[in-house]
Structure 1
Amino acid sequence: MNYELFLAKRFTASKKHKSSISSPIIKIAITAISIGIVMMLVTVATGVGLQQRIREKISVFKGHIQIINYDNNSSETTQNPISINQDFYPDFSNLKEVIHVQPFATKAGIIRTEKDFEGVVLKGVSIDYDWSGIGEYLIEGKLPVFTKETSTEVLISKIVSDRLGILVDDKFDMYFIKDNSARLPNRRVFTVSGIYNSGFKEFDESFVLGDIKHIQKLNKWKENQVGGFEVFVDDFSKINETGLDIYKQIDPMLNSLTLVELFPAIFEWLKLFDINIAIIIGIMVLVAGINMITALLVLILERTQTIGVLKALGSTNWSIRKLFLYNASYLIFRGLLIGNIIGLTLLFIQKYFAIIKLNPETYYVSSAPVSINLWQVLALNIGTLVLCLLMLLIPSYIITKISPAKAVKFE
């Protein structure tokens, strides 16, 4: 029989314990643990959620990894074409991390209406383009449908729609400068099939999605020539390794760039969230641990006579220390339970009702995104429990210094 656990349960359930001097201190300790786990859950869920959301939005417009011609510069204006007949297209059969490859091409132009004009970039995509990403942000109309014939349907952003007053099913003129410096630009007439709003202003005010065949004709490319390829992977945490593997397997005249390399400033900013999360978790665990140490010392002081009696009956120091650690574990479990109920409730409310709003110009999202991961929740709870118990091992050592003879007389 585990008599230490039996006694710990009796101590916890006793009415004397609930009305003793240690009662308010224990309640403060439980409250500290509850608040700590709430803060940790919210910090991790919102921090990771924001990182994932921003990565998803960027990948919608750029893919996870881009394969382009080495001669291409960073501008969207000019691109040197590459052949679509590549060993890795349409499937990277020897890289299981790659889940989809799609060709693209871009060309800068100007949308002209009767009252206004706007400079944008036409992103041309093909039949095998994955619309699921951008489709999530569709707010009006429908997604374009591309076939073997050249389609005039395009997808524009809400920002462009509001600025120019272009609505779904409206037609508009778009002009492209000719490469031969001719005076008259190339003119194309497009029809708005749908309007999207990703909340990422940098992309929303720039990109119009249309048929890649327009860009091939404007640039006088062949049907098998494209601007580059967008590669999507299943595990973004290994994007650098996957990007290197892709670089090794593509033609020497081609280059591969990951999102981290394309947008270093954004991803350096996102890394700060990891530091903030670690700092907040450390502070919360430290505060919870200090409160539990205080509560344990009070419990030991309150039970000094009991400790003396147990020692007189032959209990070892470690046995008595286990008794109080069991008692402390129960208090930590209570704090974690209350904290998890409150924290997860708040997170699910935010996840489904988006109560907390953010400035999209600063955070690239309109509301605080939430990512609830079961393994992260378990890791936080187990980590808090283990660290608190480790911190309690030191103060529990005071039990070894209590003399049975003096403890029995203690008042």
Structure 2
Amino acid sequence: MNLEYFIAKRLHGATSYKSSASTTIIKIAIIAIAIGMITMLIAIATGLGLQKKIREKVAAFSGDMLVSNFDGNNSEETVNPVPLYQDFYPDFEAVPEVTHVQAVATRAGIIRTATDFEGVLVKGLGADYDWDRIDDYLIEGRFPVLTGDLNTEMIISSYLANRLGFTLGDKVIVYFIDDNSDRPRPLRLDIVGIYESGYQEFDKAYLMADIRHIQRINRWKDYEVGAFEVFIDDFDKVEEVNNYVYKNSGSFLRSITVIQRNHNIFEWVKLFDFNIALIIAIMIIVAGINMIVALLVLILERTRMIGILKALGSSDYSVRKIFIYNAMYLIGMGLFWGNLIGLGLVFAQQYFGIITLNPETYYVKVAPVYINLGHILLLNVSVFVLCLLMLLIPSYIITKISPVKSIRFE
């Protein structure tokens, strides 16, 4: 243990402070770092958690990317069919990042009851549909059976069920406009399940049934579908992988990402990154300022000690190290308590869902959190280093202290 470290250790001992005022300022500095750390941990965990949850939810119901015809139609309804027999279906071997491909089709219709009516989109699904991706959102009943003989089973959102007064087991008649007839074509479906995604754009419009109903209503062949939903292993690479998917999908097909299809949602989600960065910057500045004040108070109270050390032959650099070591200790104390309390609150939210949100605004009912050890370590190191760098300038005051004057300093 060197001399500077030993003296620094004595500085933050119980008897090292001359006045209650300096003790209070130092405690405030530690509390400021702790509060800043708590705020940053919560901001990062909830911000990234909300981003991740929204992306997962939107992609679960619409795929990471959609491969369809160049039909010039930007609506959700399928216009021109795509042959089911494609080189990339059912296994997209040309793009290893693709984990699953499923065929879908959509058709706009109207549900009419005795007192109300509602425009809906019937999403047709095949036997290849991956129900595991939306399993967490099924709140009643079960998923429809899509294998074997064609049946009338379907699932509907809780939003539509509540709005139209439907419950599990009810029969629903959906009317479709037929361009070749003056009368709409009815389709009777039975509710076997009710889902609630919290993704209002989907819940307000979609009900899901067998794709063969859409093929029959559209007068398609049994090998024709509306589009292909493609899922990949890493959402962060969706733009890059989409280029490969497009190149390997055939010259008559296009591929668009879920980000392009839901531009407004993902632009809003991107704002979280700015908010997180702003909070981190403000908290680091506040913590740094408090540490600067605490360090200046320590230097002021230890002016005589500084003069004695210089008179005994200590260099300015050695004396500065004493106070830097002490500042490192104070920063470490603040980080310790900040991590302890901050991570405690984050884990409490993860397991108990204390904070709830309005799903119409945030697409989720409970504020999600995302805990990443790498992010936590990087944040701690960054805060420690930046606060320490901010203290180098005020510690330079030590070099201006004269041994003769400081020894007589009261």
Q: Is the 8 A contact 2:105 2:225 kept in 1?
A: yes
Q: Is the 8 A contact 1:72 1:78 kept in 2?
A: no
Q: Is the 8 A contact 2:197 2:203 kept in 1?
A: yes
Provide structure 1 residue ranges, at least 5 long, that are not aligned to the other structure.
none
Matching residue's letter, 1:65:
M
Counterpart-to-counterpart distance in 2, 1:267 and 1:144: 31
In structure 2, relative to structure 1, the CA distance for the partners of 1:404 and 1:101 (3 Å cut) is same
Matching residue's letter, 1:50:
L
Question: Does 2:124 correspond to 1:133?
Answer: no
Counterpart in the other structure of 1:338: 337
Question: Alpha-carbon deviation of 1:18?
Answer: 7.9
Matching residue's letter, 2:131:
W
Within 5 Å, which residues of 2 pair with 1:293-308?
293-308=292-307
Counterpart-to-counterpart distance in 2, 1:9 and 1:121: 70
Counterpart in the other structure of 1:46: 46
Structure 1 stretch displaced more, 348-357 or 22-31? 348-357
**Secondary structure of residue in 1 paired with 2:168:** coil
Matching residue's letter, 1:97:
E
Counterpart in the other structure of 2:366: 367
Counterpart in the other structure of 2:260: 261
Counterpart in the other structure of 2:104: 104
Question: Alpha-carbon deviation of 1:6?
Answer: 2.2
In structure 2, relative to structure 1, the CA distance for the partners of 1:42 and 1:18 (3 Å cut) is farther
Question: Does 2:318 correspond to 1:319?
Answer: yes
Q: Is the 8 A contact 1:138 1:197 kept in 2?
A: yes
* TM-score with structure 1 setting the length: 0.95
Runs of 4+ in 1 over 6 A off after TM superposition: none
Counterpart-to-counterpart distance in 2, 1:213 and 1:386: 62
Within 5 Å, which residues of 2 pair with 1:154-233?
154-180=154-180, 182-233=181-232
Counterpart in the other structure of 1:398: 397
Question: Alpha-carbon deviation of 1:20?
Answer: 5.0
Counterpart-to-counterpart distance in 2, 1:30 and 1:230: 52
Counterpart-to-counterpart distance in 2, 1:77 and 1:385: 54
Counterpart-to-counterpart distance in 2, 1:184 and 1:280: 59
Counterpart in the other structure of 1:249: 248
Question: Cα deviations across residues 268-315 of structure 1 (Å, max 9, x unaligned)?
Answer: 111211111111110110000000001011111111222222222332
Structural RMSD (CA): 1.7
Question: Alpha-carbon deviation of 1:72?
Answer: 4.6
Q: Is the 8 A contact 2:78 2:226 kept in 1?
A: no
Q: Is the 8 A contact 1:104 1:123 kept in 2?
A: yes
Counterpart in the other structure of 2:235: 236
Counterpart-to-counterpart distance in 1, 2:263 and 2:349: 29
Counterpart-to-counterpart distance in 2, 1:255 and 1:36: 47
Counterpart-to-counterpart distance in 2, 1:364 and 1:307: 59
Matching residue's letter, 2:240:
E
Q: Is the 8 A contact 1:152 1:210 kept in 2?
A: yes
Question: Cα deviations across residues 110-135 of structure 1 (Å, max 9, x unaligned)?
Answer: 22334433211111111121112321
Question: Cα deviations across residues 124-147 of structure 1 (Å, max 9, x unaligned)?
Answer: 111121112321111111122221
Counterpart in the other structure of 1:278: 277
Question: Cα deviations across residues 349-402 of structure 1 (Å, max 9, x unaligned)?
Answer: 222332322222222222322222222121211111110001011111111112
Counterpart in the other structure of 1:29: 29
Q: Is the 8 A contact 1:155 1:196 kept in 2?
A: yes
Structure 1 stretch displaced more, 266-275 or 311-320? 311-320
Counterpart-to-counterpart distance in 1, 2:10 and 2:88: 68
Question: Alpha-carbon deviation of 1:10?
Answer: 1.9
In structure 2, relative to structure 1, the CA distance for the partners of 1:17 and 1:96 (3 Å cut) is farther
In structure 2, relative to structure 1, the CA distance for the partners of 1:2 and 1:91 (3 Å cut) is farther
Counterpart-to-counterpart distance in 1, 2:329 and 2:359: 44
Q: Is the 8 A contact 2:48 2:370 kept in 1?
A: yes
* TM-score with structure 2 setting the length: 0.95
Counterpart-to-counterpart distance in 1, 2:19 and 2:93: 69
Q: Is the 8 A contact 1:72 1:79 kept in 2?
A: no
Q: Is the 8 A contact 1:72 1:80 kept in 2?
A: no
Counterpart-to-counterpart distance in 2, 1:77 and 1:58: 17
Q: Is the 8 A contact 2:18 2:301 kept in 1?
A: no
Identity, % of aligned positions = 57
Question: Alpha-carbon deviation of 1:95?
Answer: 2.3
Structure 1 stretch displaced more, 288-297 or 134-143? 134-143
Matching residue's letter, 1:288:
A
Q: Is the 8 A contact 2:94 2:248 kept in 1?
A: no
Within 5 Å, which residues of 2 pair with 1:52-67?
52-67=52-67
Counterpart in the other structure of 1:94: 94
Counterpart in the other structure of 2:354: 355
**Secondary structure of residue in 2 paired with 1:309:** helix
Question: Cα deviations across residues 198-251 of structure 1 (Å, max 9, x unaligned)?
Answer: 112211010001111111111121222111111112222222111122122221
Q: Is the 8 A contact 2:10 2:16 kept in 1?
A: no
Counterpart-to-counterpart distance in 2, 1:54 and 1:114: 36
Counterpart-to-counterpart distance in 2, 1:18 and 1:332: 21
Counterpart-to-counterpart distance in 1, 2:284 and 2:151: 59
Counterpart-to-counterpart distance in 2, 1:335 and 1:356: 25
Counterpart-to-counterpart distance in 2, 1:96 and 1:330: 50
Counterpart-to-counterpart distance in 2, 1:358 and 1:325: 44
Counterpart-to-counterpart distance in 1, 2:182 and 2:371: 56
**Secondary structure of residue in 2 paired with 1:195:** strand
Question: Cα deviations across residues 337-356 of structure 1 (Å, max 9, x unaligned)?
Answer: 11112212222222233232
Question: Alpha-carbon deviation of 1:78?
Answer: 4.0
